Amino acid sequence: MIRWLRVIAIATIIFSMIGLGVMAGLFLVANSGWVAVNIPPWLTGLFGARPHEVWLPALIAGWLAAAILLAALVLWSMFYVWRRRQYETLIGRLERELAKLRNLPFTEPAPLEDLPETPNVRAARVMAALDEDAALDS
């Protein structure tokens, strides 16, 4: 179900971008002149108070580029938040599993029937020799 929604969303984005391109192309063919752009009062110190002539296709391309960059930034931030939540969920799940494994001897101790009835003499000698070697090394 999610896969189909993703395919539909991608197709919608592609067709809307094609439609925007066609509309912008037709609009630019009909209006390929120069337009006067008035400078807002808070930018008169930087650009001056007189209106500037701007080529309309370049103005529209700038608007489209700004809109596309803003949409890309929003989509990237949504993807970033989604991946971060996935990583945090994975870390939480691993921490819970680790806590469960650390508490395993207390929650599920080994049954007594798994222990040998009589001690192994040879294993006791090996362990005693290891203890003596450790005492000599330190």
In this structure, is the dihedral angle defined by the CA atoms of residues 61, 63, 69 and 74, taken in order, positive or negative?
A: negative
Q: Assign residue 48 a region: left if phi > 0, alpha if psi is -120 to 50, beta otherwise?
A: left
Lookup: tokens for 90 = 């994975």
DSSP H helical ranges for the chain:
2-30, 44-47, 56-102, 104-107, 121-137
Instruction: Write the DSSP symbol of residue 115.
Output: S
Model pLDDT, residue 24 = 76
Output phi, psi for 46, to 5 deg: -90, -45
Model pLDDT, residue 83 = 96
Percentage of the residues of the chain whose pLDDT score is greater than 90: 31
The pLDDT-based confidence of 34 (bands split at 50, 70, 90) is confident
Q: For 56-115, how does the pLDDT look when each residue is reduced to its tens digit (9 = 90+)?
A: 878 888 888 999 999 999 999 999 999 999 999 999 999 998 888 887 777 777 666 666
